Structure 1
Amino acid sequence: MSELTTVNSNQVAVQGDAGQVMASKILELAADPNFDVDKLERLMELQTRETERQATVAFSTAFAAMQSEIPTIAKAKSGNGSNYATLEDVVEITRPILNKHGFSLSFDTNTVLEKADEKSTNDYKGYVEIVAILLHKEGHKEKTTLLVPFDYSGSKKNNPAQAMGSSVSYGKRYTLCALLNIATRDDNDASAAWQHKKITAAQARGLSAKQAKLSDADKDSFDKWLLDDFKIDAIADIPQSAYNYIDGQLTAKLNAAKELETA
C-alpha cells in the first residue's frame, strides 16, 4: 500500500505508489486554508503524473496479453486484383479479445471535399482522414492516423458517396490492423487448418478450472452445450477459433452464480 506521510505542516513525502491515497491526501490539504497554495499545486501535478504513469503501465501490460491472443486473420475477400481481410472479419475476431482485456476501439473521420476540375469525370475529389483510437479502461489511449484518397474505382467512378464510403472502410481496416499489429494471410488450406486447430494445454487447464467451479447442473448444461453446438465432448478438443467465445461464456456463468450468492 502506498502512503503519503506528512513531514511538517507544509511538506508531504510520497512513498511508493501514490494512487488514491495521494488524491485523498490532496483533498484533505486543500481544505486547510493555511496550507501553501503553490505546494498544493505541485502536489496535484505530481498526482496527475503518477495517475498517467499507472495508466500507461496498465495499458502496456494489458496490450501485451491481448496481442498474444489475436490470431493471424485470413484474407477472405478478393478485390482490385488482391486478397484482403474485411473490416467485418477483423472486428468480429478482435472485439471479444479487446473487451476481455479492458480495451475499447473508436474511429474519428474527417472528410475533405474539393470541386473537381472541368476535365475530371468525377463531381468531387478529396480524401478521408481516419483516426483509430484504442482506449484502455484505466484511461491511457493510443491512436494511429491514415489519409485515404477517395476510391473512384469500378462502379464508384461517378458516385462520390460510394467513393467516400469505400475509402472510410479501407482506412478503418488498415488503421485497426496497424494499431493492433494484426497480421493477415491468404485464405487457403492454412485457414482451414486454423479452424480445426485445438486449444493449447494451458488454455484447456484454464477452462477446466472454471468449469470445476460451476454447480453440477451448470456443468451438465455446459457439457451438453459443447456436444450440441460444437460436436465435442471434451474441453481439450475445443477448436482454437472458439476458445475466446467459450471462455467468455464460462466466465459469464461464474459471474452470474456469484451475483445470485450475494443477492
Structure 2
Amino acid sequence: MQAEQAGALTVSDKPTTPMQMIAHAVANGAPVETMEKLLALQERWEAGEARKAFVAAMSAFKAKPPEIFRNRAVSHDRGKSTVFTHATLDNVCDALNVALASHGLSFRWETEQLEQGIIRVTCILTHAAGHSERTALQSTPDTSGSKNHVQAVGSTVTYLQRYTLLAATGIAVQGQDDDGAQGQKDQPITPEQVASLQAGLDETGADIQGFCKYMRVGALAEITMSGFGRAVAAIDAKRKKAGSA
C-alpha cells in the first residue's frame, strides 16, 4: 500500500508545464541544448496560452458589444447637394475603449507611407496576456474638396483608422454609414487607386484576370468606390498569406 501511495505521489509530482520541466531540468543539471529546446517550448506554450486568452476575451466582448451610432452630418456640393451622416473616429474610440478595456483588450495604429503616395493604416488589437492581431487597409490621400496635401493625408489616415478599428473588433455602426452618397460610391475608382491595386497584385504575384473575376469586373478600372475596400482587403490577405508561407 505504501509503495502504491509513493508511486502515486511520484506520478503527480512529474512536471506538467514547460516551466516545471525547465525547473526540473535545471535541478538535474540538464545540458545547454536541452535547456534551449525547453525554453523554445516554453515560448510556444506561452504564445498559445496568450492566444487562448485573446480569443476568450473577444468572445466575451462580442457577447455584449457596445452600440455605436452615427453622430455627425456632413454635406457635399458637387453639382448636387448631398447630406450624409457617419460615426466619427472619436465617437468610435469612446465607445470601444471602455468596452475593450473591461476584457483586457486595447488597440493602437501603425501608419505607413508606401510608394505612389499610398497610405496604409494597421489597427493592432492586443490582449493583456500579450497576443495581438492586426487589420490593415490602405488608400490614396483624400483630395476631395479644397484640401491641401497634409489635410488630404490626415483625412485618409482618420478614415482608415476608423474602419480598421471597426473591422478588427467586428463592430458595425448602427444604421451603417457609407461616408458619402450612394451615387459617389458607385463611381469607378480613380486612376491612382487602380495603380495601387495593380502594384499590390504585382507584389503578391496574383493573377489579374482571376482577381477581376473575384471582384466581378472585366478590368481593375471597373471596380467601384464601394468595392475598393474589399479589393484592398483581398490583396492584403494574399500579402499576409505569402509572408507566412
**TM-score, with length taken from structure 1:** 0.55
Indicate the residue corresponding to 2:105 in structure 1. 103
CA contact (8 A) 2:67 2:95 kept: no
Indicate the residue corresponding to 2:173 in structure 1. 184
Runs of 4+ in 1 over 4 A off after TM superposition: none
SS at match of 2:64: coil
Indicate the residue corresponding to 1:131 in structure 2. 122
Matched, 1:26 2:17: no
Q: How does 1:104-119 map to 2 (within 5 A)?
A: 104-112=106-114, 114=116
CA contact (8 A) 2:106 2:126 kept: yes
Q: CA deviation at 1:145?
A: 0.4
From the two aligned structures, give the one with the greater strand fraction.
1
Q: CA deviation at 1:99?
A: 1.1
CA deviation vs aligned residue, 1:141-193 (integer Å, no higher than 9, x gap): 1110010210000121xx10000000010000000000001111239xxxxxx
Q: Distance in 2 between matches of 1:6 and 1:36?
A: 24
Task: State the AA in 2 paired with 1:132.
Answer: C
User: What is the Cα-based RMSD across aligned positions, in Å?
Assistant: 2.6
The change in CA–CA distance for 1:176 and 1:167 in structure 2 (over 3 A counts) is same
CA deviation vs aligned residue, 1:41-74 (integer Å, no higher than 9, x gap): 2222221121111111111111111122323321
Count of residue pairs brought into register by the alignment: 160
CA contact (8 A) 1:76 1:186 kept: no
Q: Distance in 1 between matches of 2:10 and 2:119?
A: 54
Task: State the AA in 1 paired with 2:25.
Answer: L
SS at match of 2:30: coil
Indicate the residue corresponding to 2:142 in structure 1. 151
What percent of counterpart residues are identical? 34
Matched, 1:164 2:166: no
Q: Distance in 2 between matches of 1:14 and 1:171?
A: 48
Q: Distance in 1 between matches of 2:73 and 2:114?
A: 28
Matched, 1:54 2:49: yes
CA contact (8 A) 2:121 2:138 kept: yes
Q: Distance in 2 between matches of 1:185 and 1:44?
A: 47
Higher relative contact order (CA 8 A, sep 6+): 2
CA deviation vs aligned residue, 1:84-125 (integer Å, no higher than 9, x gap): 2111111001111111111111100012475xxxxxxxxxxx
Unaligned runs of 5+ in 1: 115-125, 188-263
The change in CA–CA distance for 1:47 and 1:13 in structure 2 (over 3 A counts) is farther
Q: CA deviation at 1:35?
A: 1.6
Matched, 1:74 2:66: no
Q: Distance in 2 between matches of 1:145 and 1:102?
A: 22
Task: State the AA in 1 paired with 2:124.
Answer: I
Unaligned runs of 5+ in 2: 1-8, 77-81, 177-245
SS at match of 1:38: helix
The change in CA–CA distance for 1:6 and 1:44 in structure 2 (over 3 A counts) is farther
Indicate the residue corresponding to 1:141 in structure 2. 132
